[in-house]
Structures are given as structure tokens and as C-alpha cells.
Structure 1
Amino acid sequence: MQSLLAQRSPCGTSGRGLAPRRSIVRVGPVRATTDATTSKPKPKAPQQMLVYSPPHPLIKHWLAILRSEYTPSPMFRSACAELGRLLVYEAVREFLPTIEQQVQTPLGAVADATLVDPTRPIKVVPILRAGLVLLEQCGQVVPFQETYHVGYVRDPVTLQASAYLNKLPAKLAEDDLFLITDPMLATGGTMVQVIDDIVARGGRPENVRVVAVVVAPPALKLLADRYPGLKVYTAMIDEQVDERGYIIPGLGDAGDRAYGTSH
């Protein structure tokens, strides 16, 4: 698996549709040569899954609140919602389709304006239960969205997830844009099932953005092998997954902590 942590630089948008993708420069070994015959076009690099962990102090702050075992449920839920807002903001930075318009200002002047395209709402897919908490403030970030809930439960012995709710449309378009939220990507099995379902209904994995609070190497490897064009946005890549399928150091059970339940 190859994952890449990337930072962005300011970039404008133009025209209709998706904002242009930024290029990511990979620096490898440099060898000097004077042989003109070696100047041949290089083969196109294969797609790689990209993992973004924005180096923002607020993201680190809310992650620390979520990690603490002393954080009560109401504060945990609030911190998760705030962290979700920040990560969603990063995830849609280059993702939202835009249109160019003109608006009239209060001074009677006309100004050029770039607006989010209302005809192409982002299809938001929270994985229940805890994925819903990440979206509590999503409406403040994404002006136009459609929400399709999916619910999965994981067997505590086999760690295999099975669906108990799926509100995805029966047919999806190739240019549909998806934002999937789940606080933790541990083994990656649930996320793979959700993306597989989107692809089976006509969606494209390169049009999927995943937002998670913490992720672990097993999930990243599984997703990178299966969907090399995928983009994941997270607060932290944690070290490992224990025998129960929990991320270490992790957050504990995000759903139980957010809703004040226990097993």
C-alpha cells in the first residue's frame, strides 16, 4: 500500500463543473546525465489512493477531546460534529461543482461570482450510527446535498460487517459525487462494502471522498488495493488494530460514546 499525505496550496476555479484538480508533485532520486538518448517520455504513473491529514491545530484539538476517556457523551458528540465540519470542508475544497454567474451588489454594481452548482448536489452517505454525528454540521459547509443513510453491524467474532439499512438509490449516474462518513476505518471491511454498492449501482470510485476521524493501516491497505483512485480525509493515521477490531490508540466505540450507550 502506498498512501500519501498532501497539503494544498490556494487554487482558483473557472468555468462550469468541477473545480480543477491540483497536481501533486512526487520527488524521487535525481541523476545527472548528458546522454540525450535517455530523454524519453516516462510512462504514466499508476493511480494511488491519497490520504489527507490536514495539519490544522483545531483538528488536533478536537481529536484530543475525542480521544480522552473522560470526555462525556454530549461533549464527545459536539467535538465529533466540529471535527466533521472541518474535515468535510477540506474534502470538498476541490470537489464541489461550480457555476459562474453575476450578482448585483447593494451599490448597484454588477460583480462576477462563483457559486456551487445547485443542480449537482453532493450525495452524502453516513454509515450509521456514528457516521451521522460527523455530518451534524455538514449543512454549514455544503450548500446542496442529498443524504442516503446506510447501516452496518459488525460481528464481534468474525469482524465481518452486514447491512441492516441501505437507502442508496437503485441507479446512480457516473458523474454523481459521494461523501462517505465513518469515524473510524479499522479493518476497512464496511467501507469496502459501501463503495462496492455505489459502484454496482453505477457510481465511480474516483468520485468518492471518505471522511473519517482516525484510520488504521489495515483499512488503508485494503482500500488502496481495491480503489487506487480513492481519496480519504482524516485527522490521524493510528498505529494498529487489536484482536477485537478496535483502532489503537483510537477513540473507543464512537457510536456508544456519542449516544451514551454501552454494551
Structure 2
Amino acid sequence: MSNKNGECPSPALGVGPDYRPANEKPTATVSRQVKNQPNVHILPQTPQLIALLTMIRDENTQRADFIFYSNRIIRLLVEEGLNHLPVVPHTVTSPVGKDYTGVRFEGKICGVSIMRAGESMEQGLRECCRSVRIGKILIQRNEETSLPKLFYEKLPPDIKDRWVLLLDPMLATGGSAIMAVEVLKGKGVPEERILFLNLIASPEGIANFLEKVPKVRVITAFVDQGLNDKNYIVPGLGDFGDRFYTL
């Protein structure tokens, strides 16, 4: 666990496929691992993912490129999130008349974005799940106290019967995400049917989040060094919503 100044460095490893020799793998900063938290799933730290993260972390990356590369990571997160949904056996007949024993998804899903940055992840979900229902929760953080406040929620009326993919690109202190989960639980959604998808998380945020809502499954692309004295993720990528929508 890093301190408030982000002084615990993330690991640096050679990045590349296993069959390449070590001298052909460039050294890059990869995600910290989270011990003793089976509900935290970090995307494989592949050269593709690290290259995409490098682009969106760069302060010189222009908005159009930031959106493009962020969308690629979001798609990876959604695809991984869908891997955690329950499936049941399902046999089909192929065009050549042979049976294939496969599976199909069981149950309904919906997305819930934490406005406004979380809305950036909605298109990636729609591209994977046609006609998916999407709800919204607006929570804003007091810049002085860092405490969240709920302003608005609009959710599918049958959300308690669905698996929920909760969307927010950054997990800093965890306060907003915890409040969003409490809103969902208040609508009857069990914790274990919530998947929280985000691009970059702090170790402090993950610890705080899972202490309060331990049954929620967290799927992230990267666990960063930590938080600074303003509760910003270090090294992070700045304000995701500003860079995606306005800068």
C-alpha cells in the first residue's frame, strides 16, 4: 500500500509475449497486484494494453486520440466483465447439420454509469451488448472534504432482477463508487450481482471500496501507485471527464 504522496512505486517489468527473449522485451511500468482480494480482476498487462495506457496518460495526447485509445481500453474492460456473467449449457445445430454444445448467458444485464465520466464507457458496453439498458447516477465530490453527495439517479425499474455493470473510469478514494453501490443495493440489487468496471484504480480506493462492499467484483485495467495529498491518483492521467469531453 502506498502513502498519500504515492511514494510506493509500481513494478517495472519486461513487456511482451513469453516466447520473446528478455532482451527483446522493453521495460515498462505495469499494474500493482492486489493481494488477498479475489474479487479484484486486473486485465493482463499485455504490450497492447500498456501502449494504450501510455497514450492516455500522456499530457500531450490530444482529445481525439485520448477518446480513441480510451475507447479501446473500455472495450477490453467490458469484454472481461462479460466473462464474469453466469452462463448455462446451450446446444445449437450448425449449417452443416451438426450439433455444437456451447453456452448462453443467463439472466438480464444493465449498465449504470456514474456521471459524467462514467458515461464515456456506455458506448463500449452498447457495442458488446445490443439494446442494453443503461441507468445513471450523479454523485459529486466535495473538493475540500473529498466526501461524495448523491444528486440524481435514474435506473431501470426492474434493476433488482438484473446483473449490473457499474461504470466509472477512475477509482480514487472509492467514495463515489461506494455510494453508487449503496444506491443499487437500495433498489434491491445484491452486491454479488454488481461488476464495477474502471480504467485506473488506486490501492487505497480498492481497499476502501472492498471494505465497504466486499462482494462487488472489481475489474480494472491498472492499479496505480497511490493518492497524493489532494486525493488524485498518481501518476494517473488527470481528470478523465475533462480530457474525454472538453479538453
The interval holding the TM-score normalised by the smaller chain is 0.7 to 0.9
C-alpha RMSD of the superposition: 2.3
Closer, same or farther: CA 218–189 of 1 in aligned 2, 3 Å: same
Tell me, in whole angstroms, the C-alpha distance in 1 between the residues paired with 2:221 and 2:41: 8
- Per the TM alignment, residue 252 of structure 1 is displaced from its structure 2 partner at its CA by 0.2
Structure 1 unaligned segments of length 5 or more: list them.
Answer: 2-46
Bigger CA drift: 49-58 or 121-130?
A: 49-58
- Per the TM alignment, residue 212 of structure 1 is displaced from its structure 2 partner at its CA by 0.8
Q: Partner letter of residue 77 of structure 2?
A: L
* 1:15 matched residue in structure 2: none
String of CA shifts for 1:161-209, please: whole Å, max 9, x gaps: 2233311245643x52111111110000000001011111111111111
Q: Given the alignment of the two structures, is residue 213 of structure 1 paired with residue 199 of structure 2, yes or no?
A: yes
Name the one with the larger helix percent. 2
Q: Which has the higher contact order (CA 8 A, sep 6+)?
A: 2
How many residue pairs get aligned? The number is 212
Tell me, in whole angstroms, the C-alpha distance in 2 between the residues paired with 1:147 and 1:103: 33
- Per the TM alignment, residue 113 of structure 1 is displaced from its structure 2 partner at its CA by 5.5
* Pairs within 5 Å for 1:88-99: 88-98=78-88
* Pairs within 5 Å for 1:121-140: 121-140=108-127
What is the TM-score of this pair, normalised by structure 2?
0.77
- Per the TM alignment, residue 120 of structure 1 is displaced from its structure 2 partner at its CA by 3.0
Name the one with the larger strand percent. 2
Does the aligned pair in 2 maintain the 1:49–1:228 contact within 8 Å?
no
* 1:162 matched residue in structure 2: 149
Match of 1:183 among 169, 194, 198: 169
Greater Cα radius of gyration, structure 1 or 2: 1
Structure 2 unaligned segments of length 5 or more: list them.
Answer: 2-35
* 2:210 matched residue in structure 1: 224
Tell me, in whole angstroms, the C-alpha distance in 1 between the residues paired with 2:211 and 2:101: 40
- Per the TM alignment, residue 98 of structure 1 is displaced from its structure 2 partner at its CA by 4.6
* Pairs within 5 Å for 1:185-200: 185-200=171-186
1:95 match: secondary structure = coil
1:257 match: secondary structure = helix
* Pairs within 5 Å for 1:133-148: 133-143=120-130, 145-148=132-135
Q: Identical aligned pairs, as a percentage? A: 26
Does the aligned pair in 1 maintain the 2:93–2:100 contact within 8 Å?
yes
Does the aligned pair in 1 maintain the 2:111–2:125 contact within 8 Å?
no
- Per the TM alignment, residue 111 of structure 1 is displaced from its structure 2 partner at its CA by 2.9
1:209 match: secondary structure = strand
Does the aligned pair in 2 maintain the 1:171–1:202 contact within 8 Å?
no
Q: Partner letter of residue 61 of structure 1?
A: A
* 1:27 matched residue in structure 2: none
Does the aligned pair in 2 maintain the 1:180–1:210 contact within 8 Å?
yes
* 1:80 matched residue in structure 2: 70
Tell me, in whole angstroms, the C-alpha distance in 2 between the residues paired with 1:116 and 1:133: 28
Tell me, in whole angstroms, the C-alpha distance in 2 between the residues paired with 1:143 and 1:170: 19
* 2:39 matched residue in structure 1: 50
* 1:247 matched residue in structure 2: 233
String of CA shifts for 1:65-91, please: whole Å, max 9, x gaps: 110001111111111111010011111
* 1:203 matched residue in structure 2: 189
What is the TM-score of this pair, normalised by structure 1?
0.73
Tell me, in whole angstroms, the C-alpha distance in 1 between the residues paired with 2:129 and 2:102: 15
Does the aligned pair in 1 maintain the 2:109–2:132 contact within 8 Å?
yes
- Per the TM alignment, residue 48 of structure 1 is displaced from its structure 2 partner at its CA by 4.7
